[in-house]
Amino acid sequence: MPCAVVDLFCGIGGLTHGLIQSGLQVIAGLDIDDTCRYAYESNNDSLFIEADVGQYPSVNIKNLYPEGEVRALVGCAPCQPFSRYTQRYRKDGHKGDKWKLLYSFSDKVRDILPEIVSMENVPDLASEDVFYDFKRSLVEMSYNVSWSIVYCPDYGVPQKRRRLVLLASRLGSITLIEPQYTSETYLTVRDAIGELPAIEAGRSLETDPLHCAAYLSKINLERIRQSRPGGSWRDWDERLQLICHKKKSGNTYPSVYGRMNWDEPAPTITTQFFGYGNGRFGHPEQNRALSLREGAMLQSFPGNYAFLPSDAEVSKKALGIHIGNAVPVNLGNAIGLSIIRHVEEVEQNG
Ligand SMILES: C[S@@+](CC[C@H](N)C(=O)[O-])C[C@H]1O[C@@H](n2cnc3c(N)ncnc32)[C@H](O)[C@@H]1O
């Protein structure tokens, strides 16, 4: 039974790429941001449709699926409203209206009734009403639903990211495959980026403009020289420490201005991983923050994933958002393998 997938909120294709690696056919991805098109289409044999999921007619999505195939609708709606890292959420308690997009996802499921649904998001979503509304409406539509908070290193992602993964099927019970790695075999920062050529802060590699590291001021260069892997700003001489860190409240952020450890999975790659002051994003031994390429590889994108046309200017801010928001490719692969296993089980059971 062949299975065809459409990816809502597809971005630059982290989820799509993992699904394709697992052996699934991804027909198309929809995203409102056309700057994702190049990366999405260059690395995946899938169509990019620039569209607002809330406005795009369900019938058009329905018509994308080849006749007679099992249809899967997958998606990772924007996570910012639920993310711990969203300052806006923290500061004014206002979650914006992006959460509505999960209801749009639900509407698309209701209109299309695909055999399989997969939804991925940040773990904090599990404490939001919108998540339980999403799940309840699936059950009402006769889907079998399972969900869990996944520790990404268990699935070959060299990063201590946790994500919520939901799977649902109208064909029978569906669950995520068992973890493929253990704490003894987790992929590490060294496994992911240890082979990349050295670069200096503020420089990029001629043969790969994505392997570019942010400029560091003189004082930040002094600071990173004094930082040790897994450590923090507390390792620095007192004169280098920031006043805000020394205040009581600053003590709650020990990992900012830290270096990563070679022999552990990386910390969660946020949308600002290219900034030394934004987390433990210092390179384990070079005096600089992570490059865009390194952030992408820690998200388990292949080292040759093309993000921009060769003549395009690299914007760390714009690409950082796309890379940091992506579903790690290897998690996408695990979701794909789970869908394939489920379809095979259904086939075997007649
Ligand atoms: C969490 S990211 C998706 C990551 C993607 N699945 C991946 O693995 O690379 C969310 C995406 O939703 C897109 N988006 C935001 N609002 C949207 C809307 N109304 N319709 C379609 N896409 C939207 C954003 O442009 C962003 O690319």
Closest-CA residue, ligand 1 atom 4, reads: 326
Same domain, 64 and 94: yes
Q: 9 C-alpha to center of ligand 1: Å?
A: 4
Closest-CA residue, ligand 1 atom 20, reads: 52
Same domain, 85 and 195: no
Distance CA 78, CA 11 (A): 10
Closest-CA residue, ligand 1 atom 18, reads: 52
pLDDT at 306: 97
pLDDT at 293: 98
The finding on whether 53 has its CB within 6 A of some atom of ligand 1 is yes
What burial class does residue 164 get, using C-beta atoms within 10 Å of its C-beta: 0-12 exposed, 13-18 middle, 19+ buried?
buried
pLDDT beneath 50, residues of the chain: 86-94
- Closest atom of ligand 1 to CA, residue 101: 19
pLDDT at 231: 82
Residues in the chain: 350
Same domain, 151 and 210: no
- Structure tokens, 205: 């590699």
**Cβ(225)–Cβ(240) under 8 Å?**
no
Same domain, 266 and 336: no
What burial class does residue 237 get, using C-beta atoms within 10 Å of its C-beta: 0-12 exposed, 13-18 middle, 19+ buried?
exposed
Which of 79, 152, 212, 244 is catalytic? The answer is 79
CATH number, domain of 117, equals 3.40.50.150
CATH number, domain of 285, equals 3.90.120.10
- Closest atom of ligand 1 to CA, residue 11: 27
Same domain, 193 and 109: no
Same domain, 109 and 201: no
Which tens digit of pLDDT belongs to each residue from 265-317?
Answer: 999 999 999 999 888 899 999 999 999 999 999 999 999 999 999 889 999 99
pLDDT at 89: 40
- Structure tokens, 209: 């403009």
Same domain, 306 and 162: no
Same domain, 336 and 204: no
pLDDT at 248: 58
pLDDT at 91: 45
Closest C-alpha among 38, 131, 119 to residue 327: 119
226 CB neighbour count, 10 Å cutoff: 13
290-322 as b/e: b if 16+ CB within 10 A: bbbbbbbbbbbbeeebebbeeeeeeebeebbbb
SS3 at position 322: helix
pLDDT at 87: 41
Domain of 42 in residue numbering reads as 3-184+328-348
Does the annotation count 79 as an active-site position? yes
Q: 203 C-alpha to center of ligand 1: Å?
A: 30
Residue found by looking up tokens 């490059």 in the block: 291
Q: 77 C-alpha to center of ligand 1: Å?
A: 6
The finding on whether 96 has its CB within 6 A of some atom of ligand 1 is no
**Cβ(218)–Cβ(248) under 8 Å?**
no
The finding on whether 267 has its CB within 6 A of some atom of ligand 1 is no
The finding on whether 50 has its CB within 6 A of some atom of ligand 1 is no
Per-residue DSSP letters for 264-293?
SPBPP--TTTT-GGGSS-B-SSSSSBPPHH
Same domain, 14 and 159: yes
Stated pTM of the model: 0.94
Q: Per the structure, how many domains does the chain have?
A: 2
DSSP classification of residue 59:
H
Phi/psi zone of residue 198: left (φ > 0), alpha (ψ -120 to 50 degrees), beta?
A: beta
Distance CA 283, CA 111 (A): 47
Same domain, 343 and 309: no
Same domain, 132 and 118: yes
Closest-CA residue, ligand 1 atom 16, reads: 32
pLDDT at 230: 87
pLDDT at 84: 54
The finding on whether 125 has its CB within 6 A of some atom of ligand 1 is no
Same domain, 198 and 107: no
